[in-house]
Amino acid sequence: MQSTSTRRQLLKTTALMVGGSAVASSSRGQSLNSMAESEAYWEQVRAQFSFTENTVPMNAANLCPSFRAVAENVQLLTADIDRDCSFNNRSKFAGLLEAARGTVARQLNVSAGEIALVRNTSEANNIVNSGLELQRGDEVLLWDQNHPTNNVAWDVKAARYGFNVSRISTPANPGNADELLDAFVSRFTSNTRVLALTHVSNVSGVKLPVKELVAAAHAQNIYVHLDGAQTWGAASIDLHDLGVDSFSASAHKWYMGPKEVGLLYIKAENIDRIWPSTVAPGWGDDADTDLEGARKFESLGQRDDAALAGLGVAAEIHDGIGAQRIERRINFLSQRLKQGMVDAGIELVTPLSPDLSLGVCIARAPAGQGGSLSNRLYNEYGIACAATGGVRLCPTVYNTVEHVDRAIAGLTALMA
Instruction: Please give the Cα distance from 138 to 135 (Å, whole number).
Output: 6
pLDDT digits (tens, 9 = 90+) for 38-65: 999 999 999 999 999 999 999 999 999 9
CA distances from 118 to 1, 234, 243, 414 (A): 27, 20, 21, 41
- DSSP-derived secondary structure letter, 272: G
Is the model's pLDDT at 6 over the cut of 80?
no
* Residues with Cβ within 8 Å of residue 338, at least 6 apart in sequence: 348, 350, 352, 357, 361
Is the model's pLDDT at 24 over the cut of 50?
no
pLDDT digits (tens, 9 = 90+) for 317-330: 999 999 999 999 99
Sign of CA dihedral 222, 228, 233, 234: negative
pLDDT, average across residues 112-117: 98
Count of positions (residues) in the chain: 416
Instruction: Please give the Cα distance from 307 to 96 (Å, whole number).
Output: 10
Q: Which residues of 302-324 are buried (b: 16+ CB within 10 A; e: fewer)?
A: ebbbbbbbbbbbbbbbbebbbbe
For 286, the enclosing helix (H) or strand (E) is none
Burial of 9 (0-12, 13-18, 19+ CB in 10 A): exposed
CA distances from 94 to 97, 101, 108, 319 (A): 5, 11, 21, 22
pLDDT digits (tens, 9 = 90+) for 200-252: 999 999 999 999 999 999 999 999 999 999 999 999 999 999 999 999 999 99
| Average pLDDT for the chain | 92
